[in-house]
Chains A and B, each alone.
Chain A
Amino acid sequence: MYHNHGYLLSDDFASAKNDVGFGYTWLHQANTNGQFPYILCNGNTQNVFGTYPPLSLATASYFARDTWMPNDKFSAFATVWVQRSLNTISTHFDPRLSLVFRPTTNDVIRLTSGRAYSEPDPSLLTPAPPSYGSPTSVNCPSTTTGSGALVAIASEADPNLLPETANDVELAYGHRFNFSTSIQADAYQSWENQALLSGNVPISSIAQITVPQHLIAINIFSA
């Protein structure tokens, strides 16, 4: 179950060929998961539907934008975001610029470039009791290195994860033959940093952590 709320404060100043705006936005999402049967932190199972503590995702951002249309054939769109990821305690500067050129009334060319960031899902960040699989079915290989040497028996979050960031550039072309027939071509490249990879780490390399008490609390609807 997702519960989203937030607010946006902005203002725009429009003129004949230029629209300028700026603002501030705050967004929050709470994600609540439930399960039947409910598995307690000690591994015991109860035949009830229970909800886990909600996971939160919050972002606070300042932005400024400008749309410039000097004539019928050319227009430019610029946006600058300064975004604060409250979950990862990191700040991101994300500008984006689009240049649009219309050589004829039936053709349009667009060049866009910018930066962006993407936060890890809160379930990947939040320290919680590891969710174990079925240890009775563990079938370890005969080797301790190489292919399949590690057998994952549980999944765990990493509170030190950072958002993925990306620099991208895109060139697009569109042509309209008539009111119902058109073609588009789009080429893009995106370089991503801090890419999030899923994988296995040896149990021996995991440091012990203390799970916050509020994340251990459970809500059980009915017995």
Chain B
Amino acid sequence: MNPTVNNLAFSTTFNAAGARYRGIVLSANVGIMRDLAFNASYNIQSAAYIGIPQDILLQNTNLLDGGQITGIPLRQGTAGLSYQQRSGFAARIDTTYVGSNNSWNRNPFWFANASVSQTSGRVSVGLGVYNLVNSAAQQYGLIGAGVFVPQNYYGGGAFGGPTSAIQPGTEEYGLPFRQYWLTTKVSI
């Protein structure tokens, strides 16, 4: 359909509302045995905009007044194992859990990073791997494959709601495929 002045818009930023963030963070560090430690954290965060004017809700249907802000997961967590020898060898693996309502428009997922390093004197050499097992990895965004992103009253619900999963057209994003990092550090 040909654009009209009623269709076209600028994207911009407003001071238009309040926001309330509430959360609980639980974390632990556990020494399993000599040189080996486990650490974990679990984060629950409620994040909501409060008092968004109606005209902004009308024009930005993914803004929810009082609902969880789109793109901020309610639950996230991390867990990691670290091994540190006094000789200078170190290794660790870290996993991250990302709950629903994430900015990738995906169902909950997790990914892991790992690294090993050896320090000798003033020289340290490390090898890191990002996204060790290719979790949620994809080359392109997949339009229509994303999870349903909640809309306010003025969204699709005002017109009877979507009639197919494709209609909302949510794009599912992914993480990069496995990447390797080789780093060398020399202390002067």
Contact = CB atoms under 8 A, between A and B. Distances in A.
B186 interface: no
A155 interface: yes
Given A186-B25, A187-B24, A202-B9, A181 B31 contact: yes
A10 interface: no
A200 B155 CA distance: 14
Contacts, number: 176
B85 interface: no
Contacts of B2: 140
B29 interface: yes
Most buried by A among B8, B10, B25: B10
Contact of A190 (B4, B16, B20): B20
B142 interface: no
A188 interface: yes
Contact of A158 (B5, B12, B19, B29): B12
B144 to A, nearest CB: 15
A147 B159 contact: yes
Given A147-B61, A157-B12, A192 B25 contact: no
A151 B3 contact: yes
A37 interface: no
Interface string A146-165: 11111111111110011010
Interface string B46-85: 0001001000101111010000000000000000000000
A123 to B, nearest CB: 10
B20 A149 contact: no
A191 B4 CA distance: 39
Chain B CB count within 10 A is highest, among A183, A185, A196, A199, for: A199
Contact of B58 (A138, A145, A180, A195): A145
A15 interface: no
Q: Which bracket fits the contact residues of B?
A: 35 or more
Name, among B27, B59, B154, the residue most crowded by chain A CB atoms within 10 Å (CB to CB).
B59
Secondary structure at chain B's binding surface: helix, strand, loop or mixed? strand
A144 interface: yes
A180 B159 contact: no
B20 A192 contact: yes
A213 interface: no
Nearest to A152: B11
Contacts of B13: 120, 124, 157-158, 161, 196-199
B58 A146 contact: yes
Q: Tell which of A120, A138, A143, A197 has the most Cβ of chain B within 10 Å.
A: A197
B181 interface: no
Interface string B8-48: 11111111111111111111111100000100000000000
Given A185-B25, A197-B49, A180 B31 contact: yes
B14 A199 contact: yes
Contact of B14 (A146, A158, A183): A158
Q: Which of B2, B13, B24, B49 has the most CB of A within 10 A?
A: B13
B135 to A, nearest CB: 27
B25 to A, nearest CB: 4
A80 B30 CA distance: 37
Given A146-B154, A178-B31, A181-B29, A204 B5 contact: yes
Contacts of A203: 5, 8-10
17 contacts: A140-B7, A141-B7, A146-B155, A147-B155, A150-B59, A156-B10, A181-B29, A182-B29, A185-B24, A187-B23, A188-B21, A191-B19, A197-B16, A199-B16, A199-B63, A202-B5, A203-B10
Question: Sorted from nearest, which 4 A-B pairs have the closest CB atoms?
Answer: A180-B31, A199-B60, A150-B9, A200-B9
